[in-house]
Structure 1
């Protein structure tokens, strides 16, 4: 995640691509069964592949079709299997297998995770008081995962007295977790077990009560906050709060000083936070009542609340309010960090002696430290494109701020900086065996979109790279929900760069890399900006000589898969190959169906197609609805049968319609993980298996040396 190639280069490739050497089998053909999809205002569309939807995942005809797709994918990809295996070996070879995390201190214990060589899952452990103390294993995940095709622990929380562990477990991949509790002294797992919950949990101060989120069994949205008392049946759990509005997502947690338990409610354009004393969470107080286009989050330390808010500040500001003044509402909030039109405040962390602020400017995520009575100072960075992030900071009395630093060249590095002296020390550089960062160069360039907007692009290439318009390019983007795609190191990158490829991240509108306005300009009735930004970045990089025309690959996943579908329809000639992972491609039909998990609560992101103006606009870019009799690039599409975010039938229908209408002979591969959800198969190495498969597919189409 670009283009321009001289015809001479294409004609002098060292070897014909594998797909040209053997005839591929015929692709599966899905039956067409007329089905009318009706909008509330009367518009109708025919969806001939609607029958592929089966919410039970048991329809024999549907399962047989997916099986045929996987068999076809196996056949098409067989010629590239040696390359995929080689890439897998290279990628895994850049991972230190017996690695461990940097320990952090919380309530007298040092917590960390560690991997054994070859293990897919880490052991979670702690040591009391000192890193020299005996190890206490909290969760032996390798042992727990045995016998499961999918395994994930989403959240865990240790009780305030350090004796008990609450955690949430999924063995299906549908993000319907089971809450369990373990006695850390005896190793006993309690009989208390609560199914169909969200990943996050929080303890009350009595060390017996756990707050959790109960999910709706159909939409899978978190609907109710309940309190479970250990040793009592789940049927007796007390209802703390129920959310009636399906546009809100919920979470639970504790404030930095551990004094308050909070319920966090968030929608695209509105937040609400309810908090109660952790010692007695009987009555929850609303920090500020919800209001459309009013967003905030609050944390507590000492005798005050610190609030990050967009109130009178599109790029957010930090405000503070004393405990005694909280009931007075927003009128009592005073500025701590004023609004800045060029700086977007993304997060913060309060300490007893200072405040750490995570912010964005010029497309990079940075950190700034504020000390009362002193001039704020930024945390230093040495590269043009990078990302910093607040690390795990569980001791507010510390003089040290822990943070991480990444770039497309620099592996994740964990630092601490002292707020009093400015001293900075490295705690860990992520080991990458066989990798020399001096061989590579990262750049930040700015592409001009068709409406004149300057779009930041992070890219990386070998130091020996020549910008002569002959290279192959792999371009990636996401561009939705205000989610920013930061330039972080990946162990796959050396395999691309050592073969002469350029890798680029297009920070397109729809993310928040350039502030809230950047997000607003890439959603609802501005969504097409995301697609055209991506295409214009590609054309810019080709024009500037970073890539050859005809040697560009594009990739995106989930809402980034929507981007891929839109790009495939709008500018298929600009890409040789496209990778679309778990793609959201059937926008109109999905957004008309409020029983689907992805739909509920997202009208402020995409629009409500029950209204004609949104319906017409969404229909104009929906990838599934705009498939036409035209030539498309080679495509690799993936999904998970148990995906709860983007249901498997969206890409299944899209692929079926593409097969029926496209006029080219380029391969279209559809890979279905039959035992996985939105994030794919679980396990440390499994994702690299699929990554190696699609990278082999991409490299073969781009004529990259094996």
Structure 2
């Protein structure tokens, strides 16, 4: 078949005559091929689009279908190109192109990253400490273009040249500050390659280590690097190995191998640099084994793993300080143990458990400890001083996000913390715990005349159908009237205990300036209201996540924040599962749904342990090899619950090389949706053929994707373009 005929057959080209109007584009129609998915206990399901899965990404028929979907999306979006371009220019116009991060000091050097005008990737650099050198002076020099004395560690722009995708996931410098190890990814699949660079000579060593995670730790000898090797099929973090510079990679010694595929693995150095620790963690359990960084020959377990007991330990001085949920501390507590402890029997309570306060983490200093907490759905930082006094870092808005920032050295009186809200750009402060002095180190510059005083943020509490109160963060332009006429974008996630806190977004300003409301629903499945909030939104409680989101929508419409026919919903990954569920459960509540890298084929994916993430997540979703979980998951899985009804307009996005939610899930979902949708609203499917879970690499390229998606949404909601 000739190319033109092939496109016509797929409906991607239209024919016209001089006497007739253009024929609307017809979406692709994927071929059906019978396939039975079986569960171990005998249940069977038909999956007519299973053939779209190709783990090697080489099947020509599959690739042709994806390319046809992209071509169809191009056709649908063509009239909206001016809006897309305007959105893109607005968004990037707010970004300071030659920006830099706040430098932090470590072992006599100040480290930071900076961007150059017109460049997509950062330059990672450092400057030597000395008289008059501090975070403020370096930022001033960077802003003035004065790079005298700067040492470039990695110019990622040069490394990424000629590549469709490029990311440096981690980089670490030896304790003597002379050798750099870094891990890079060239397709977005999060399978990294480790490379080595001599910082004195600029030489890049020939040795490379492939198939690893982005997690690197040097030993004190400045020659031995510990890294995590991934399983080549499941991509799970499986083995910790060590590489000695100058020796064959094939001879790298195995340090530890995790036998349980439900655990993730990582490595780190302790707060005081005395230990190298291997941490393994599942949804409900964790374990840590550590060895002296000066002689990491034997890794000793700090406390043996136990189901439903989680802990994370840090070392400073002569003790371990440990965050744990042991002994029924559902919202976590902090305990201490001596340096030679190998059992929970040595643990002594320090910061007690509270039902109304969730402990997220902590940072140890020589003279105080900073504890990151949550209460009433908001973050706060509590400072515990050596003599027993305590105080909270202050916040000035009703809905905000606050957390510990980079505090690289424990021998300091200065605590760095971050602050942002839906109206306040990301801000880094430094607080002197002894004197109370506070310094503003950096506020994210927002160009184009952005003024936070022109916008209003508020927090409302929405009653869910079971009586639970759901916190919602809102932002809109000052002068907004709750008259039930506005368009609204509602975002949600609600999985893995990941809290979606209100933070500033340069993209959302374009929506607010067009009169829209942005709503962030803190639904169950996250951890905004503590550990119970998470437990009430997972496993056999998962449907609470979906009904919470729908209940928030209905409440906000009733209260006049939005018109009932002008609501958009947005979610990605597990939030894409949320989008698929609400589309099936309440399609009439949403005019348009934006679903990025959506996890929509829950049962089939969780039945297949060869798929990355599956085995790690049995305690998040359930194991469908057990009938109780199979039946429950099947009752909400978006792909399995598509039916003949009118669906909202949809914009679905994915990446061909996604390792977290594989491309074939949304591909199958869109194909079946097209078969069953009885409505007339457009469904477009954008596949990034060179990227993975996070979309395109580079600082600006991802905003092209956002602008396209938002242009589609604005058109569907009938949002008018502002006057020039």
TM-score bucket of the superposed structures, by smaller chain = over 0.9
Instruction: Say what the alpha-carbon RMSD is for the aligned residues.
Output: 1.0
Correspondence for 2:357: 343
Match of 2:498 among 483, 490, 498: 483
The CA distance in 1 between the partners of 2:535 and 2:719, in whole Å, is: 38
Superposed, 1:72-471 pairs within 5 Å as 72-130=72-130, 131=133, 134-312=149-327, 313-324=329-340, 326-327=341-342, 329-434=343-448, 435-471=450-486
CA distance in 2, matches of 1:516, 1:102: 32
Instruction: Report if aligned partners of 1:219, 1:600 keep a CA contact under 8 Å in 2.
Output: no
1:276 Cα deviation after fit = 0.4
Q: CA deviation at 1:375?
A: 2.2
User: Secondary structure, in 3 states, of the residue corresponding to 2:472?
Assistant: strand
Q: Distance in 1 between matches of 2:54 and 2:388?
A: 61
Question: What is the deviation of 1:285?
Answer: 1.0
Kept in 1, the 8 Å contact 2:236–2:613? The answer is no
**CA distances 1:467-520 after superposition (whole Å, capped 9, x unpaired):** 111111000011100111111101012101111100011000000001110000
The answer for the alignment partner of 1:7 in structure 2 is none
Report the equivalent of 1:683.
698
Residue by residue over 1:518-541, the C-alpha shift from the partner in whole angstroms, topping out at 9 and shown as x without a partner, is: 000000100000000000000111
SS of structure 1 residue aligned to 2:163: coil
Q: What SS does the corresponding residue of 1:625 show, helix, strand or coil?
A: coil
**Which sections of structure 2, spanning at least 5 residues, go unmatched?**
1-20, 139-147
**Unpaired runs of 5+ in structure 1?**
1-20
**Following TM superposition, by how much is the alpha carbon of 1:374 offset from its aligned partner in structure 2, in angstroms?**
3.6
Q: Distance in 1 between matches of 2:509 and 2:238?
A: 44
Deviations 1:426-458 (A, max 9, x none): 001110012110000111111110000000101
CA deviation after TM superposition for structure 1 residue 598, in Å: 2.6
After superposition, where does 1:547-626 map in structure 2 within 5 Å?
A: 547-626=562-641
* Cα shift readout 1:285-317 (whole Å, capped 9, x = no counterpart): 111110000001000000010000011210001
User: Is the 2:600–2:666 contact (alpha carbons within 8 Å) kept by the matching residues of 1?
Assistant: yes
Q: In the TM superposition, what whole-angstrom CA distance separates every residue of 1:619-639 from its partner, at most 9, and x where no partner exists?
A: 000000000000000000000
Q: Secondary structure at the match of 1:562?
A: helix
CA displacement at 1:23 relative to structure 2: 5.4
Displacement, 1:365?
Answer: 1.4
User: Hey, what's the Cα distance between the residues in 1 that align with 2:436 and 2:286?
Assistant: 35
Is residue 66 of structure 1 aligned with residue 66 of structure 2?
yes
Higher relative contact order (CA 8 A, sep 6+): 1
How big is the shift at 1:81?
Answer: 1.0
**Distance change >3 Å, CA 627–CA 169, structure 1 → 2:** same
Normalized against structure 2, the TM-score is what?
Answer: 0.94
Counterpart Cα distance in 2 of 1:493 and 1:616? 39
Separation in 2, partners of 1:459, 1:264 = 37
| Rounded Cα–Cα distance in structure 1 between residues aligned with 2:483 and 2:386 | 52
| Local SS of the residue matching 1:602 | helix
Q: Partners of 1:141 and 1:642 in 2: how far apart?
A: 21
**Distance across 2 between alignment mates of 1:78 and 1:337:** 58
2:208 alignment partner, SS class: strand
Other structure's SS at 2:509 match:
helix
- In the alignment, which residue of structure 2 is the partner of 1:16? none
Report runs of 4+ in structure 1 exceeding 4 Å deviation.
none
Match of 1:32? 32
Asked if 2 retains the 8 angstrom alpha-carbon contact of 1:24 and 1:75, the reply is no
Could you tell me how far apart the structure 2 residues matched to 1:157 and 1:24 are? Answer: 54
How far apart in 1 are the matches of 2:612 and 2:272? 34
| C-alpha distance in 1 between matches for 2:47 and 2:688 | 24
Correspondence list, 1:501-540, <5 A: 501-540=516-555
Take 2:522 and 2:286, find their aligned partners in 1: how far apart are those partners? 26
Conservation of the 8 A alpha-carbon contact between 1:98 and 1:116: yes
**How far, CA to CA, are the matches of 2:501 and 2:103 in structure 1?**
25
Aligned mates of 1:353, 1:76 — CA distance in 2:
61
- Structure 2: distance between partners of 1:332 and 1:445: 44
CA shift for structure 1 position 22: 7.2
C-alpha contact 1:24 1:76 (8 A) present in aligned 2: no
Q: 2: distance between equivalents of 1:336 and 1:297?
A: 15
* Alignment check: 8 A CA contact 2:688 2:696 kept: yes
